[in-house]
Amino acid sequence: MNKLAIFNGKPIRSEAYPIHTTIINDDEEKAIVEVLRGNHLSGFSARPGDRFLGGPNVKKLEQEFSKFFGTSHAVSFNSATSALHGALAAAKIGPGDEVITSPYTMTATAASILMQNAIPIFADIEDRTYGLDPKSVKDSISKNTKAVLAVNLYGHPCRLIELKKICEDNNLILIEDNSQAPGALIDNKMCGTVGEMGIQSLNYHKVIQTGEGGMLITNNKEYAFHNQLKRNHGEVVVGKLENINNLNVLGYNYRLTEIQAAMGVYQIKKLDFLNQYRINLANELTELLKTYDFLSTPIVEDNCTHVYYHYPIRYIESEIGIPRSVFLKALKAEGISVTESLKIPLYHEPIFKHKRAHAYRYLELLDRNIEYPEGLCPVAEKIMMEEVFITDICKYPNSSKEIKEFEQAINKITKNISSLKSLNG
């Protein structure tokens, strides 16, 4: 057991991790079978009437989300990406408008801005919980800024209260991408409810899921209505409804099926349990890792809760003497689930770096130019390319066994660190 697996020693863990599950059981199965036997796999119809808002399971799921998050409205979508697009459309973001967002997030966050032919402006992140840095956001505001799209990354709220104040002071709309932090709290408020609109994800990898799916929550009636139109070919309905003939909306097919919605009704009932399960495992891992001075475990701010969609670890190379890449190769060889996660800021991706989206053509017409140079967001670049790595083991059905294996593998590596220094990262 003393020889590192990367040098053909016996690994700490040799079996595969359990398949990700969100406790899909008889409740979901029964609900889905009822939908199948009822022969109405989708309740939507793109014309005025009761079916314009979807079938009974879609409506029930939206009610459950409104109840859980304490909002007046919830609008389901076939993905969180679609919901992000809908939120920006409802906020009347359009060609040439600028939306400030994070470079440290999944591509859909910034891509949704391009979908409205608007321009993503990347502000830097803070180095504690990796959300948008309010100071960088303030410095990024221009006369063309219309909104801030914040991300609650890895399960911890970003500095939403400060960002909300900045938006209010500058007449901007705050939208939350809350795909990774459903149920997390800041100042006793649910993440996703601080901004004017919050986006939840029901993708397979998330804490709860319907395979694919998303939800937009809001207390604004107009935003909710716009999104109900957006997801269901709303342009053919506008002229047939009273008093809204002047509303301009181009709709899409962003509808959730009755099968997915039926599953989601029971999934949201399990969210609190699954979040607490993650918190318990994460707390156990934090306790085991606190003796390693080259690893900085997740920070949980005093006014917040962390629901650990992923467990992020800050790697301090100067304290151990090998690059992150070498350390992670050794951990992976021991059978441990780790990854660098998001390795480069979004503005290094070709669609942004080389401005390949149609949105950037509008800037040419407006005689404006936006560049995304190296060093644009120095904190994000350092964290992403050198420091942070994540593990996804703090989730159901993993147990203390997986947590202890993680620490055992790190302990094994530290005892053999001299042998690793010969490797080229």
- 425, pLDDT greater than 70: no
| Res 242: pLDDT | 63
Give dist(CA 97, CA 115) in Å, integer: 12
Q: What is the pLDDT of residue 423?
A: 81
Cβ proximity of 228 and 89 under 8 Å: no
Tell me how many degrees the CA angle 311-312-316 measures, rounded to the nearest 5. 140
Cα 176 to Cα 65, 252, 314: the distances in Å are 16, 22, 24
Q: How confident is the model at residue 1 (pLDDT cuts 50, 70, 90)?
A: low
pLDDT of 169 higher than 60: yes
Tens of pLDDT, residues 343-396: 999 999 999 999 999 999 999 999 999 999 999 999 999 999 999 999 999 999
Alpha carbon separation from 89 to 30, 117, 123, 231 (Å, rounded): 37, 10, 21, 11
Express each pLDDT in 302-334 by its tens digit.
999 999 999 999 999 999 999 999 999 999 999
Can you give the pLDDT at residue 421?
A: 87
Domain limits of the chain? 26-270
Lowest mean pLDDT, pick from 48-52, 90-94, 169-173, 369-373: 48-52
Q: Is 94 exposed, middle or buried (0-12, 13-18, 19+ CB in 10 A)?
A: middle
Q: Is the pTM of this model over 0.75?
A: yes
150 φ/ψ sector (left φ>0, alpha ψ -120 to 50, else beta): beta
pLDDT of residue 2: 85
What sign does the dihedral 279-282-286-287 (CA atoms) show? positive
How confident is the model at residue 243, as a pLDDT? 59
Tell me the C-alpha distance between 402 and 117, whole Å: 45
pLDDT of 249 higher than 70: yes
Q: What is the mean pLDDT of residues 410-415?
A: 97
User: Domain 26-270 belongs to what topology?
Assistant: Aspartate Aminotransferase; domain 2 (3.40.640)
| Span 194-208, pLDDT tens digits | 999 999 999 999 999
Nearest to 372 by CA among 84, 50, 146, 101: 101
pLDDT attached to residue 244: 59
Mean pLDDT of the chain: 95
Per-residue pLDDT for 247 more than 80?
Answer: no
Local confidence band at 236 (pLDDT 50, 70, 90 cut-offs): confident
Percent of the chain topping pLDDT 70: 97
User: Does residue 286 sit in helix, strand or coil?
Assistant: helix
